[in-house]
Amino acid sequence: ATAMRCSHQLPPAHHIAQVVDQWAAEVEKLSEGDLDVEVFGADSLVKANDNILAVAKGDIECAFSLNFQWGKTLPIMNVTVGPYTMSSIEAWKKWPTSEAAAFLEQKLAEKGVKNVAWMFQTNVSVFTSRGRALTSPEDFKGIKMRGIGPAFDRGLTAMGATTVSMPGSEVYQALATGVVDAAITDVAAAYSRKYFEVQDHMTVVPVLAAYLHGYVNPSWYESLSDKSKAALDEAGKSAAQWALDASIQASADAPRQLEEKGVTVHVATEAENEAFKAVMQPAFAEGFAEETGEDGKTLLGLIEKIQ
Amino acid sequence: MSGEPAKEEAPRAPSLPHRAARALSRLGGALSAVLILVVLVATAVSVFNRYVLGRPVMGIDEATGFLVVAIVMLGAAEALRRGDHIRIDILFAHAGPRTRWWLELWSLAAVISFSTLLLVASWHTVVFSRTFGAYSTGYLSIPMWIPQSTMIVGAILLIIAALAALLDLIAERGN
Amino acid sequence: MTILLIFASLVGMLLTGMPIFAALGLSSIAILLMFEGKFDSIADTVFASLNNPLLATIPMFAFMAHVMIKAKVVDDLYDMANKLVGHVKGGLGFATILSCTIFSTISGSSVATALTIGSTAIPQMQRFGYRPRDTYGIIAAGGTLGILIPPSGPMILYAIVTDASIGALFLAGMIPGLIMAAVFAVFSWVQANRHGETRAQTWPGTRAVARALLNSIWAVAMPPIILGGIYLGVFTAAEAAAVGAVYALAVALIVYRNVSLADLWDCTWQTMRTSAMLFMIIAGAGLFGHAVTIIRLPAEIMETVTALGLSQTGFMLVVMIAIFILGMFLETIAIILITTPIILPAMLALDINPIWYGVLLMINLELALITPPVGMNLFVIKGITNAPLAEIIRGSGPYVALLVGGLVLFWAFPQLSLWLPTTAGFGR
Ligand code: NA
Ligand code: NA
């Protein structure tokens, strides 16, 4: 059997980490044991930010990254981080076989990795805060906020917030003590990381979509048998569906669980979302256009088709 | 367990390669020390900016991480030259002068082998990062090969410092 | 079998006396070549292990301690403790432990604590009739407090490996640290009184004591600034280090006015040497961790634990004994960095609180510092006094027993560690 080491950053209990495990078993099954997949989660083999280089360079065969992690290396991967760009579940259902996905796969191949799986992780985020809810762009003026990355944070800055970056392990206490006032996070994570103990208002917003995608080293992929390649292709398609189901499930339960913990949960209204979009979208789009040029425009056009 | 005392206290007049190696190690050490101060000031300034000016400095975290790599790589050779690197010296303590000489030789050979392998691997990494076009993911978004190349410098400095110590050791045997 | 072979070859290489970083690095490369046939990943791994902003906390705390020592702020500290309790028979040992405790809030290193307090306190105690052997024990043990009472270099490393909060760990070490300090102090007093030769110093007078107290205020103000700042959430641990260093600089330059620019450069230089040494071990341990992970050692250990059906208690017992044994031969930093990543998956699976485990690990590492044959604090005292190692080991013996007692205590009562961080809002 051919060893296939896959690194990712998610903790074992995360709903997408479990989809990765399921995907690994499926690959082994479909390849009839030709591929021996070993999953190393929780940053245990390669750190989150180093996965891309490790696979491209051939240190390991396979890894999963969140789209943020491509940063300036392949800025077009950030497209779904754009405020309200890929907010609907319907669009995500069409994603794996869409022209947009094929376009990104092409870009990844040109960069030097072969994409094998798209795992939609969330489109439900929360703005968490204490004392008052963040329901309009004006509410963000002058607050210190833990952001999620340069591309998305442009939108927060446009609303007047000051974004702070800090290691994940420090966020809870920073929120508890007011080193930062607010945060944006995936709604399920707000529950699993116990933000409800230190924040009492959360506004549910479909502001961004994040996905984890799996990719392998291209020359290693080329050396595989047709059966193994087909197994990867097939398992990738199944995993996209599993991830979608798991994410919808995770997002569905969280708001109620948060309310049970005493958080005032507010689901942003259409008008409120429009207001956020009006301020955040242009700020993001400007940076995105600058970094991605024609390719960015083409991709946004393709995404328009599946909305 | 701190190993040998400073080599510069040896009575013999140091040879030219020895002096050159010493100067390089010290230069690396001085740069490393300056970078420690830079990190210190940057962190203090970011606290000040957050509380007093209400505007945190972006990218300090990321820069600090890269600076840590540079601090280690620039300082490791000087630490080696001064015998700072921790070692388990039970065998040393019980060995005669002749065995000690061999152990010292073995230990320097180990440092040289490791540093050489690190040099080769760092070179590959830096070249790959450049051609791949890898950028850091944080606010700085700088090309990764820049911080990575401090490893090349560090490995070369370590090799030079260890080779100089090796020459001294061999000369010592001659005496 | 492979596991045993790997560890045997690592220990073998370490024993030949090559620098620890080289032994770790070369054995990792050997593993990679054997199982992967290539070693190209080592540069990426070294870079990843060092590219961490939290690591910068260590040199900043070290710099702070160097400045406080250089400005002789620490001398005032010992003077205060000595004047306060030195007039009691057997009180000098008490004063020494008190100084070690306060110095521990300045220094993140046990070796630095033993070295700094030891060079002043050992001669002083011997002058007043303490049995030399007992003075070695007091310093060996008092010095170990450096890594349990925050700030603590080893705690920072542990936090980085486990992704626990540094602030939470610092606060968790506080109460156990104070309890151990009290136990050491009382024991030293009892021991000094049992050996009748100990003489009391003369009472220097209330005014002299008051003056000494006032002089030491700058050292004593350190814990409220660093720990208070973390407790109240004014700053993160890394920022506390920077603020502490700035504070030390201000005290040295404005209050004491006894350090020159050359002195400060010297402090930076010392910091650089220690950091380079320490961080090279981190790089080496990072390589070793990567090599054993890629051959699935941690996963196998976890599978074994699951297969054996080990309970949390059983697992902890095995781990603590293993670390105690490793601690006899290895140096603390290497132990943290080698063992933690390997047992972390099993730890999480058994629902062991990483903050609580961190405190127990620190106490076990304090033991490592004073157990023969390789104990850094023992060597420090050997360096200061040139006494026979056997005598130093005998002096530290009782403290080994006390620390083992402490380990059991803090194991049995997790709240002693967890109460403070929980009230400060570290809820995770
Ligand atoms: Na300390
Ligand atoms: Na020991």
Encode pLDDT of C136-146 as tens digits: 999 999 999 99
Query: Is a pLDDT exceeding 90 seen at residue B63?
Result: yes
Chains that touch C (3 or more CB pairs under 8 A): A, B
- Separation between Cα atoms, residue C116 and residue C126, nearest integer Å: 17
CB B89 within 8 Å of CB B163: no
The boundaries of the domain holding residue B130 are 16-174
Contact assignment for C44 to A5 by CB distance below 8 Å: no
Closest listed residue to residue A204, CA positions, set A135, A261, A131, A284: A135
The residue of chain A with its CA nearest to that of B124 is A57
What element of type H or E holds A191?
helix A187-192
Calculate how far, in angstroms, residue B56's C-alpha sits from the geometric centre of ligand 1.
Answer: 29
Q: What integer pLDDT is reported at residue A190 of this predicted model? A: 87
> For residue B12, what pLDDT band results from cuts at 50, 70 and 90?
low
Residues on chain B touching A53 (C-beta within 8 angstroms):
125, 128-129, 132, 134, 144
Domain presence at residue B1: no
- Range with lowest mean pLDDT among A16-20, B15-19, B63-67, C118-122: B15-19
Domain presence at residue B87: yes
Domain presence at residue B168: yes
Q: What integer pLDDT is reported at residue B10 of this predicted model? A: 46
Domain presence at residue B9: no
Q: What integer pLDDT is reported at residue B13 of this predicted model? A: 66
Q: What integer pLDDT is reported at residue B79 of this predicted model? A: 95
Calculate how far, in angstroms, residue C241's C-alpha sits from the geometric centre of ligand 1.
Answer: 12
A194-203: average pLDDT: 90
Contact assignment for C26 to B114 by CB distance below 8 Å: yes
Q: Exposed, middle or buried by CB within 10 Å (0-12, 13-18, 19+), for A257?
A: middle
B48-67: average pLDDT: 84
Match 């329901």 to its residue by tokens.
Answer: A135
Domain presence at residue B35: yes
Domain presence at residue B151: yes
Structure ipTM: 0.91
Ranges of chain C with pLDDT below 70: 1, 196-198, 427-428
Domain presence at residue B23: yes
pTM of the model: 0.90
Chain Cα centroid distance, residue C274: 14
Q: What integer pLDDT is reported at residue C8 of this predicted model? A: 85
CB C268 within 8 Å of CB C60: no
Q: Tell me, yes or no, if C33 comes closer than 8 A to chain A by beta carbon.
A: no
A83-103: average pLDDT: 90
Residue B19, C-beta contacts closer than 8 angstroms, at least 6 positions apart? none
A258-263: average pLDDT: 91
Query: Is a pLDDT exceeding 90 seen at residue A116?
Result: yes
CB B161 within 8 Å of CB B28: no
Contact assignment for A150 to B141 by CB distance below 8 Å: yes
| Torsion sign (Cα): A159, A164, A170, A174 | negative
Q: What integer pLDDT is reported at residue B2 of this predicted model? A: 38
Calculate how far, in angstroms, residue C242's C-alpha sits from the geometric centre of ligand 1.
Answer: 15
Domain presence at residue B153: yes
Domain count, chain B: 1
| Buried b or exposed e, range A110-145, using 16+ CB within 10 angstroms | ebbbbbbbbbbbbbbbbbbbeeebbbebebbeebbb
